[in-house]
Amino acid sequence: MTTTAPADDITGDMVEPATVKRGRPGRMLIGLGVGIAVLLVGLAVPYVVTDTYRMSLLLDATILSMLALGIGFMARHLGMISLGHGAFFGTAAYAVGVAITNWGWSPLNAVIFAILLGSALALVMGVLVVRASGFGFLMLTLALSQALYQLSVQISAREWTGAYDGKLITYEPDMTFLGLTQADLINPGLFWPFAWSALVVSGIVLWVVGRSKFGTTLEGIRENEERMRFSGYNTFLPRLIAFVLSGSVASLGGALFAMNAGYISPQILGFTQAGDSLIAALIGGFGIILGPVIGTFLFVYAQANFNFGGNLHLLTGLLLIVVLVFMPGGITGTLQKVYRRIRGKDRQVSDERGRSGRDIASDRADASELRAENEQ
């Protein structure tokens, strides 16, 4: 029997210990309405941000957020930190390049194939690693991801991956992806609606899954897997499904990355890509679905504006230390704690006011009774 280490070995205070509350239908509809509103508002961003450079930063952050979303989903609901989701992201990107450049497929078919291939890889990898937990799970996902990186840079794989030189995606001028030509795809303003829609829809799907009965089962496994086993639950299958689902979201991000960039570097399969996404998710926080997204946007912005003197990794490390020491729940987790304290104080004040009001009413009633007795 596999012995599972507690999730706190890895995540500690980075994940809220309380289980996810299954939402009522009304609240679920409100959440979906908010998601649709965010989707529609976000589609107007290219009309507000007219600078191409800033628009490209927003687009990069949006695409990379899908990788961070997958990592955050596993950490939030299972307490498992993965360094292998970069493998799904990179595999999907290479699959797009191979399908279009080598096989002559249409871009849309190539993207669908890439997502399916990345999901299949997540399934195979998940069967091998999800029985582990804690540092064992982290190191297994890292090892398999690094194995794919080494395969991609082999000379024998140059025809498919370009080895260390990377792979340039080329296809016929008359081919389009949902109406966009290859020149349109590298335009951040034109490609933005597709990337933003994919991110919001992915976030909504993961949010709904997290608030469903399945999400509650995942929370139970995270809190006490042994008890869930003794209660008759199969803990392996829910873990595997969650791993594949999060890998599919990362694969979607990788496919869109390849379509927008038109070039794939082997570095997206390396440790740096997965590590940066994990750091971004940690900074944003795992407590809510928006945490990894917020962290990724901040990380991309900092990477573009504070990379002076080649000290980006030094500054990133210092920021990560500050977050882990002073804000263990990330930015969103800290904001949640502040909000709960304020809300708790407001409730305390209202309770005190309610008690004082009841005391005053009781005193008045006593006074009325005394007056009535005196009159008698």
Whether residue 233 is found in the same domain as residue 103: yes
Count CB neighbours of 123 within 10 A: 15
Alpha helices (H) along the chain: 25-42, 45-48, 52-78, 85-97, 107-129, 134-152, 158-161, 182-185, 188-210, 213-223, 225-230, 236-261, 271-284, 291-305, 312-326, 330-375
User: Looking at residue 2, what DSSP letter applies?
Assistant: P
Does residue 320 fall inside a structural domain? no
Closest CA to 180 of 259, 265, 254: 259
67: in domain: yes
Residues 75 and 212 in one domain: yes
Same domain, 209 and 355: no
The rounded distance, in Å, linking the Cα atoms of 225 and 239 is 11
Lowest mean pLDDT: which of 7-16, 68-77, 150-159?
Answer: 7-16
Residue 364 located in a structural domain: yes
Give the list of residues 6+ apart from residue 109 with CB closer than 8 angstroms, or none: 99
CATH number reported for the structural domain that contains residue 129 in this entry: 1.10.3470
Tens of pLDDT, residues 105-140: 999 999 999 999 999 999 999 999 998 888 889 999
Asked, for residue 3, whether it belongs to a domain, the answer is no
What DSSP assignment string belongs to 324-343?
A: HHH-TTHHHHHHHHHHHHHH
Nearest-angstrom CA–CA distance, 121 and 145: 11
Same domain assignment for residues 30 and 118: yes
Q: What tens digit of pLDDT does each residue of 16-71 get?
A: 544 445 556 677 788 888 889 999 999 999 999 989 999 999 999 999 999 999 99
**Which of 308, 341, 362 corresponds to the end of one domain?**
308
Tell me the C-alpha to C-alpha distance, in Å, between residue 202 and each of 65, 68, 69, 158, 251: 10, 12, 8, 33, 11
Is pLDDT above 70 for 291? yes
Q: What's the confidence (pLDDT) of residue 179? A: 85
Confidence of residue 9 (pLDDT cuts 50, 70, 90): very low
Residues 125 and 83 in one domain: yes
Task: Give yes or no: residues 341 and 300 share one domain.
Answer: no
Q: What pLDDT, in 10s, does the model give residues 292-349?
A: 999 999 889 888 887 776 677 788 888 888 888 888 888 888 888 888 888 776 566 5
Residues 336 and 299 in one domain: no
Dist. CA 109–CA 146, nearest whole Å: 28
pLDDT at residue number 20: 46
Q: Dump pLDDT digits (tens) for 58-103.
A: 999 999 999 999 999 999 999 899 988 999 999 999 999 999 999 9
- 312: amino acid identity, one letter: L
262 and 334 inside one domain: no
**Structural domain harbouring 335:** 329-376
pLDDT mean over 2-24: 49
- Higher model confidence: residue 336 or residue 364? 336
Query: Is there a single domain that holds both residue 74 and residue 195?
Result: yes
Looking at residue 111, its pLDDT comes to 95
More confident residue, 263 or 273: 263
The reply to whether 283 falls in a domain is yes
Q: Tell me the pTM.
A: 0.84
Q: What is the pLDDT of residue 306?
A: 79
Residues of the chain above pLDDT 70, percent: 84
User: pLDDT digits over 175-190, tens only?
Assistant: 888 888 888 899 999 9
Give the position of tokens 């004082």: 356
Q: Which residue has the tokens 């390396």?
A: 270
* φ and ψ of 290, to 5 deg: -80, -15
pLDDT for the residue 173: 81
304 lies in the same domain as 347: no
Statement to judge: residues 211 and 350 lie in one domain = no
Q: Is 5 a domain residue?
A: no
Number of folded domains in the chain? 2
How far is Cα 283 from Cα 320, in angstroms, rounded to an integer? 7
Say if residue 224's pLDDT is above 80.
yes
Whether 117 is covered by a domain: the verdict is yes
Q: Are residues 200 and 283 in the same domain?
A: yes
Does the residue 323 lie in any domain? Answer: no
